[in-house]
Structure 1
Amino acid sequence: MAMSHGSVRKMVAKKGLFFPIVGVATLITFIYMSFGGDFSVTNVFMQQHYSFVKVVGHQFMLDDKPFYINGWNSYWLMDHAAGESSRPRVKEMFQSASKMGLTVSRTWAFNDGAYHALQLSPGHFDEQSFQALDYVIAEARRNGVRLIFSLVNNLQAYGGKTQYVQWAWQEGLGISSSNDSFFFDPTIQTYFKHYVKTVLTRKNTITGIEYRDDPIILAWELINEPRCMSDPSGDTLQDWIKEMSEFIKTIDDKHLVTIGLEGFYDSKSSKASINPSKFSTGLGTDFIRNNDIPTIDFASFHMYPDKWIEDNLDEKLEFVKKWMSSHIEDGEKQLKKPVVLSEFGMSSHTKDFEPSHRDKLIKLVYDIMYKSAKRNKAGAGSLIWQFVVKGMEEYNDDFGVIPWEMQSTYNVIVAQSCKLARLHGPSDLKGSLRDVCLRSQQ
Structure 2
Amino acid sequence: MFKSSTQKMGAGNRLLYPILGFASCLVFIYFSFGDFWVSYPREPVLSFVQRNGTHFMVDGRIFYINGWNSYWLMDHAADEYTRPRVRAMLHAGAKMGLTVCRTWAFNDGAYNALQLAPGQYDERVFRGLDHVIVEARKHGIRLLLSLVNNLQAYGGKTQYVKWAWEEGVGLSSSNDSFFYDPSIRHYFKTHVKTLLTRRNTITGVRYKDDPTIFAWELINEPRCMTDPSGDTLQDWIEEMSSFVKSIDKKHLLTVGLEGFYGPKSPKRVTVNPGEWAAELGSDFIRNSQISTVDFASVHIYPDQWFPKYDLEEKLKYVLKWMHSHIEDGDNELKKPVTFTEFGLSNLSKGFDPSQRDRLYKIVQDAIHKSAKKKRAGAGSFVWQFLVGGMDEYNDDFGIVPWERPSTYRLITDHSCRLAQIRGVLPFQREYLKELCF
When normalised by structure 1's length, the TM-score is 0.88
Q: 1:366 to 1:205 in 2, by over 3 A?
A: same
The equivalences for 1:210-225 within 5 A come to: 210-225=206-221
Residues 374-411 of structure 1: CA deviation (Å, up to 9, x unaligned):
11000001000000111101100110110111100000
**Counterpart residue number, 1:371:** 369
**Counterpart residue number, 1:39:** none
The equivalences for 1:115-126 within 5 A come to: 115-126=111-122
Hey, what's the Cα distance between the residues in 2 that align with 1:46 and 1:79? 26
* Aligned residues of 2:77 and 2:129 also touching (Cα < 8 A): yes
Residues 49-83 of structure 1: CA deviation (Å, up to 9, x unaligned):
21100000100000000000001000111001111
Match of 2:50 among 54, 66, 73: 54
The aligned amino acid for 1:392 is M
1:268 shift after superposition:
2.1
The equivalences for 1:12-411 within 5 A come to: 48-273=44-269, 274-309=271-306, 310-411=308-409
Q: How many residues align?
A: 394
* Aligned residues of 2:72 and 2:104 also touching (Cα < 8 A): yes
The aligned amino acid for 2:162 is Q
* Aligned residues of 2:146 and 2:219 also touching (Cα < 8 A): yes
What SS does structure 2 have at the residue aligned with 1:112? coil
Hey, what's the Cα distance between the residues in 2 that align with 1:427 and 1:75? 25
Hey, what's the Cα distance between the residues in 2 that align with 1:64 and 1:58? 14
**Counterpart residue number, 1:28:** none
Hey, what's the Cα distance between the residues in 2 that align with 1:164 and 1:50? 35
What SS does structure 1 have at the residue aligned with 2:176? helix
Residues 102-133 of structure 1: CA deviation (Å, up to 9, x unaligned):
00000000000011000000010000000000
1:84 shift after superposition:
1.1
The aligned amino acid for 2:289 is D
* Aligned residues of 2:46 and 2:211 also touching (Cα < 8 A): yes
* Aligned residues of 1:46 and 1:141 also touching (Cα < 8 A): no
Q: 1:425 to 1:120 in 2, by over 3 A?
A: closer
Query: 5+ unaligned residues in a row in structure 1: which ranges?
Result: 1-44
* Aligned residues of 1:73 and 1:105 also touching (Cα < 8 A): yes
Hey, what's the Cα distance between the residues in 2 that align with 1:385 and 1:265? 22
Hey, what's the Cα distance between the residues in 2 that align with 1:307 and 1:186? 34
**Counterpart residue number, 1:416:** 414
* Aligned residues of 2:64 and 2:422 also touching (Cα < 8 A): no
Hey, what's the Cα distance between the residues in 2 that align with 1:424 and 1:170? 52
Hey, what's the Cα distance between the residues in 2 that align with 1:425 and 1:197? 36
The question of 1:434 aligning with 2:430 is answered: no
Q: 1:425 to 1:388 in 2, by over 3 A?
A: closer
* Aligned residues of 1:228 and 1:284 also touching (Cα < 8 A): yes
Percent identity between the two aligned chains: 63
Q: 1:426 to 1:88 in 2, by over 3 A?
A: closer
Hey, what's the Cα distance between the residues in 1 that align with 2:136 and 2:42? 11
**Counterpart residue number, 1:9:** none
What SS does structure 2 have at the residue aligned with 1:106? strand
What SS does structure 2 have at the residue aligned with 1:179? coil
Hey, what's the Cα distance between the residues in 1 that align with 2:110 and 2:175? 17
Q: 1:181 to 1:71 in 2, by over 3 A?
A: same
Query: 5+ unaligned residues in a row in structure 2: which ranges?
Result: 1-40
1:207 shift after superposition:
1.6
**Counterpart residue number, 1:33:** none
* Aligned residues of 1:404 and 1:410 also touching (Cα < 8 A): yes
